[in-house]
Amino acid sequence: MYAEEKVHVVQKGDTIYSIARAFFVDKDELMKYNGITDPTKLQAGQRLRIPAASAVMASSPAAAQGQELMHKAAKGDTFYGIARRYGITVDELLAANSLAKDYILKLGDMLRIPGKQSVPAPNAPAAGTAVSAAPRPIEARDVDASVRWPVTARELSYMTGKMSGVVVTGDRAEAVKSLSAGTVISAGPYRGFGRIAIVQAAGAYLYVYGGCESLSVKEGDIVGSGTELGRLGIDAVSGKPQLFFMVYRSNAPVDPAKAPRT
């Protein structure tokens, strides 16, 4: 018996997997709960009922008893994404599992989540939903006109604290363009950051584009440099049209200004 029920309205670019990840529920449970047999036939505007915490993604008997939390790597997971989901750093996640920085995450890997004894809250808001949060720690920088960004850079700041990357203030609804050729390994809503697209590129690079109001790509799409990934939205915290752009190589953060543009 489910304690509560949420409803998600399917948006362009949504997949069963991305919706399940956004609400921290199991994708198979989500399909069963909505009587879906073919996950490829989602349609924009379709309303999906979201199971409550009884089907929380990454839950385990140990977690339910307040013991150490484990996470089973699913399709599209990255160390970066898992770490962000649980509010820890990539280094903390790797150290807790005695993994080298160049370890390649495999489907089905079981990972210990350090310092966590309960599953993450299943209340991730849909894109565009205001969230209650303190201003993100950032450090303003001058815009270098010689550096190409995914959006036109009106303002530029570097994230400080646990997150590594830049915040690029652009224009509302302008195209967010990929800086590299590669494969979209994740696309969908992410709590507090609107919609994000993650592009895996040659050389073990991951390009993370967050803050989109809508997405033009889906998981598995092949993109080129300059391909439109989505449209820039208004950040709920700052009230500005901002892109949260991060680059990782072999799970280590890279200065986005110095990351390859292909």
* β-pair partners for 112: 70
Helix spans in the chain (H): 16-23, 27-33, 61-64, 79-86, 90-96
Structural contact between residues 172 and 205, judged by C-beta atoms closer than 8 angstroms? no
Express each pLDDT in 66-79 by its tens digit. 445 677 788 778 88
User: Mean pLDDT highest for which of 21-25, 153-157, 196-200?
Assistant: 153-157
Which pairs from 136-144 meet CB under 8 Å and 24+ separation? 136/163, 136/167, 136/237, 136/238, 137/161, 138/167, 144/257
Judge whether 59 and 119 are in contact, CB under 8 Å.
Answer: yes
pLDDT at position 112: 79
Residue-by-residue DSSP string for 200-227? EETTTEEEEEEEEEEES--TT-EE-TT-
Output the pLDDT for position 85: 75
Share of the chain above pLDDT 90, in %: 35
For domain 138-254, the CATH superfamily is Glucose Permease (Domain IIA) (2.70.70.10)
What is the CATH code for 61-113? 3.10.350.10
Q: Do 6-55 and 61-113 share a fold?
A: yes
Per-residue pLDDT band at 247 (split at 50, 70, 90): very high
Q: Alpha carbon 35 to chain centroid distance?
A: 26
Q: Are 75 and 183 in contact, with CB atoms under 8 Å apart?
A: no
User: Among candidates 227, 231, 191, which has minimal Cα distance to 207?
Assistant: 227
Q: What is the pLDDT of residues 157-194, one digit of tens each?
A: 999 877 789 999 999 999 999 999 999 988 888 777 88
- Identify the pLDDT of residue 68: 52
Q: Convert the pLDDT of each residue in 224-243 to its tens digit.
A: 999 999 999 998 888 899 99
Residue spans of the domains in the chain: they are 6-55, 61-113, 138-254
- pTM for this prediction: 0.55
The CATH classification number of 6-55 equals: 3.10.350.10
